[in-house]
Amino acid sequence: MRIFASLSLAVLALALVPATQTPAQAQAVAQTPPMGWNSWNFFAEKVTDKDIRAAADNLVATGMKDAGYIYINIDDTWEGQRDASGILHTNAKFPDMKALADYVHSKGLKIGIYSGPGPKTCGGFEGSLGHEAQDAQLYASWGIDYLKYDMCSFIPEVMEKQAPNDKAAQMHIMYDAYAKMDKALKATGRPIVFSLCQYGWDASWEWAPQVGGNLWRTTGDISPDWDRIYSIVSQQAGLEKYAGPGHWNDPDMLEVGNGKLTLAENRTHFSLWAILAAPLLAGNDLPNMKPEIKAILTSRDVIAINQDSLGKQGSRVYSEGETEVWTRPLAGGALAIAVVNVGDNRYSTHPFHLSLAKLGLHGPQAGKDLWTGKPITLTDNQPLELASHDVLLVRIDAPK
């Protein structure tokens, strides 16, 4: 099919959706942002069956399951070879994926897996190219509940080879690849969360729901350092209209508890993912989690913001100097407000004065400071001093 550059890519994406599928069908899962744990940030390519079983145990033992973390997701490097029939087998690190899935399910949890539309995954293992329906049926037979589908080799090996120097045609090929796996997953009859990992290419938020995406990456990979986290947060501004129940912008996995992030940075990272209605996929060392990290990851009040049933992603309302103010509308007319010192100074050069008028509020606002658990009343032009990279996160149940 000839692709004309003038053709709207959004229209093109819609044209790829099978006639029997509508975006509403993709919303049977992930009605709130998925919560769980992914193996990559801590184990990377070294992850094993034993590690996943231990992660399931620890998600229960730490109270994270009770806080809402239900997915245990295996990232890359579980794949072995395909047999003569094309069936993909696991490698020696994962001797029995069905038994592993059964173990995870026995804990009251769900299990996720990883693949990609190319011939190889990011780690050089077997991808799903040409085996989409076969792999989807295999995942369903194992009891898989979540699929992270990563571009990697698909870009140079398929998109660039089939349509050199033709971006419109390349994008068509990418849409078709994700739509093909979505169709294959739905054909299994098993509810499986479909996570598109393609780094925000071609404004993924505009077309991903139409090819079955329940969540889609909006940027490149995260890392456990403030500059990268803040860069990713900044790129989310303006994307709020694309998120909602069953389809979420994904600024990548959580780095809470990883690297050399300060306690304030961990707290702010988690607060902003809550404001952004982002998936909460932890990636830390669960058995050695420090109490203060556990307190952040299991904060019921902050998680309630993230999981709010209204499903509205928050937005950056305004910034002033080194301070930014984000808000998120919540069910029942409530409002979450995050005030963040994004600067590197220990304290702002002068107190930040919160403008309630800019937030559409008038008069004193009675709320709750979600990190101290104490009541707080916000007033117009109120001076606030925050430590570097720290946050004030407030819930107002009856804003005026």
Give the Cβ contact number of residue 89 at 10 Å.
Answer: 13
Query: Residues, the chain, total?
Result: 400
Q: Is the dihedral of CA 44, 45, 46, 49 positive or negative?
A: positive
CB-neighbour burial class of residue 227 (10 A; exposed 0-12, middle 13-18, buried 19+): exposed
Q: Which residues belong to the active site?
A: 150, 221
Give me the torsion for CA of 177, 252, 110, 141, rounded to 10°: 20
Q: What is the C-alpha end-to-end distance of the chain, expressed in Å?
A: 55
Cβ neighbours for 15, distance < 8 A, ≥ 6 positions apart: none
**Backbone angles phi and psi of 50, in degrees to 5:** -60, -40
- DSSP sequence for 230-262: HHHHHTTTT-GGG-BTTBEEE-----TTSTT--
Rounded CA-CA distance 117/212 in Å is 14
CB-neighbour burial class of residue 238 (10 A; exposed 0-12, middle 13-18, buried 19+): exposed
Retrieve residue 255's tokens. Answer: 């780095």
